[in-house]
Structure 1
């Protein structure tokens, strides 16, 4: 029989493909009990490696959303929606938290910036109805500004300095 934190020696272990949640619980219990020879090492190793990939995917996703909203704030300033700024702040906070939890990912936003900007540019065009050519071909913001809690781009058409958005 299986209990959340204990697996009895004679129980049948659930295959990875049969029931993922049950398999995870069993693998955790085996680790806690020190039953290393009973572990599904190959699938367990893949799952552990995928955890790092999921953090990277989350940074990519949040960076793209952040870039879309910065572009909308800059190029559609007259139609700013109330939630755009809060979305910018939320994405920045979540990216910072991921990096704080995994400092080895500190340079990752910079590594994927060009690719995520390309997606963001396309999404911003779709969301605003503006042609893609309105948005710069290359990211107009550096990564430090993008992640800076106080940075907001100057609205297009406004006089020099920070826009009214800051």
Structure 2
């Protein structure tokens, strides 16, 4: 095999696992295996970022559209917090990843919030007004932003 993507990933992973079990090192596509292992770590990081964006988006909507608050927003906020917590429990080395990604994730959430709500992006703060501790706190929700309603 070469370092190109296999046509059947499931088959490749099963064969590679068997080769590893049997210590048949010479038959393993080492370059591709290394790339896949690296991608596993990146996948975990992307999952945290995805959940963080979803969480920030719904917190913004919660704050800026209090009249539209719903159980589905509450469920989304709760689930995103849970998924981040579970990912970090599974991979404690990712504990600081949300901190590193907060600003970039907030910018994406801010853009999505503007599109989804019809509220001008300039209404949402340029910098995240929430600390990561609050964002991840299961009991915290932002207060309604009354200034946009007056």
CA distance in structure 1 between the partners assigned to 2:97 and 2:76 by the alignment:
21
Secondary structure of 1:51's counterpart equals: helix
Count of matched residue pairs: 146
Runs of 4+ off more than 4 Å: none
CA distance in structure 2 between the partners assigned to 1:96 and 1:59 by the alignment:
9
Which residue, out of 34, 42, 47, partners 2:36?
47
Q: Is the 8 A contact 1:114 1:139 kept in 2?
A: yes
| TM-score under structure 2 length normalisation | 0.92
| Aligned ranges 1:1-166 → 2 under 5 Å | 16-157=5-146
Per mean C-alpha deviation after superposition, the further-off stretch among 15-24 and 90-99 is: 15-24
CA distance in structure 2 between the partners assigned to 1:137 and 1:21 by the alignment:
44
| TM-score under structure 1 length normalisation | 0.83
CA distance in structure 2 between the partners assigned to 1:35 and 1:131 by the alignment:
60
CA distance in structure 1 between the partners assigned to 2:5 and 2:143 by the alignment:
52
Per mean C-alpha deviation after superposition, the further-off stretch among 83-92 and 15-24 is: 15-24
Gaps of 5+ in 1: 1-11, 159-166
Q: Is the 8 A contact 1:16 1:23 kept in 2?
A: no
Gaps of 5+ in 2: none
Bigger radius of gyration among the two = 1
Tell me how large the CA RMSD over aligned residues is. 1.7
Deviation at 1:16, TM superposition (A): 4.1
By relative contact order (CA 8 Å, sep 6+), the higher-ranking structure is 2
Counting helix residues as a fraction of each chain, which structure ranks higher? 2
